[in-house]
Structure 1
């Protein structure tokens, strides 16, 4: 496909974790909320985009991605103990949002944004895992294409605007359905966790 051509693609799928021969449903789209994106903007996993970009409306797909094709290996160095003061609002620890299992947006001194999963809350520190929740996992996407066409200039502009606005007012669910960029702020503070000496919690 011409790199200068952007396509609007919408897909319905079920995503399974098939690591080590298991088959665990991780997520699935709904009829009224398919996963949609515009190709060529770096919105979704490159291997996923490559597999679906030339499919047509109504085509089915079954795509298995190894960890190196999806979210990479799980890296122990991306598990950090952060000072609880980072998560304080007006001098008080943010107990409403900072809970074990919660996905929270963070930023480092350079202003780069990251998602972290809260593993443990101690007396003075919060243990955060900056690995993507599906890092180290072999993934299987099973689904079909519900729309595939050339994107309009307006659609491309809207998606670019949304990408450039990532992390601003990042108070929504910063989870990442299958690692894809979704609406309602999901994935808005995305990052791979590399070199994240986190110095702040973005609200």
Structure 2
């Protein structure tokens, strides 16, 4: 490919991590619901994008990403106890969305959005793990390229509008459940392999400031 940016790439994949009894599959994008994105916009991990950007339609791939190429080490300092009042909606605690193991959208003082996993709901505090679910893991991908072409001008415009908060589109996600898409992807509610953990949009619920 002559130009690595603004490529529309669609692919299938299986994602594995190291388990207690060998490799364990944690995500799959099938041909009927492939993962697709436009290159150069940070919707896939840089190392993932580099592996698939030059592959032609029909090419099979198998590669691994180290934790440093993916989500780094698990950081105990990314676990925090937040006041329950942060999760109040209309004066009441948002028990519909805030419960143990729930994935919730958060926003810091600088306006950056990201996701956290609820570890514990107490009387005064909510304990949140803000590490990516795959932090500390080596990622193993196997899959096939379904499409690799120049993105159309309309596709790029829709994506830019989405990034600016003026709309959603651009074909960046695996139908809202992709592993390699940005913050709107889903791995038990969170994007697994997305380029930016702060995300560019919310998958639902409320965005709570911490």
TM-score (norm 2): 0.80
Would you say the 8 A contact 2:178–2:185 is kept in 1? no
Would you say the 8 A contact 2:177–2:185 is kept in 1? no
The residue aligned with 1:172 is none
Matches within 5 A, 1:38-187: 38-165=38-165, 177-181=178-182, 187=191
Structure 2 residue runs without a partner (length 5+): 169-175, 200-206
Identify, as 1 or 2, the structure richer in helix: 1
State the number of aligned residues.
189
Alignment CA distance shift 1:183-1:153 (3 Å): farther
- The C-alpha deviation readout for 1:27-73, integer Å capped at 9, x for no partner, is 10132210000111111100000000000000000120110011111
Would you say the 8 A contact 2:103–2:190 is kept in 1? no
CA shift, 1:22, in A, is: 2.7
Q: Secondary structure at the match of 2:179?
A: helix
CA shift, 1:152, in A, is: 1.0
Q: Distance in 1 between matches of 2:51 and 2:104?
A: 31
Which deviates the most, 118-127 or 12-21? 12-21
The residue aligned with 1:201 is 208
Q: Distance in 2 between matches of 1:21 and 1:70?
A: 22
Alignment CA distance shift 1:61-1:119 (3 Å): same
Alignment CA distance shift 1:183-1:48 (3 Å): closer
The residue aligned with 2:198 is 191
- The C-alpha deviation readout for 1:131-158, integer Å capped at 9, x for no partner, is 1111111111110001111111111121
The residue aligned with 1:37 is 37
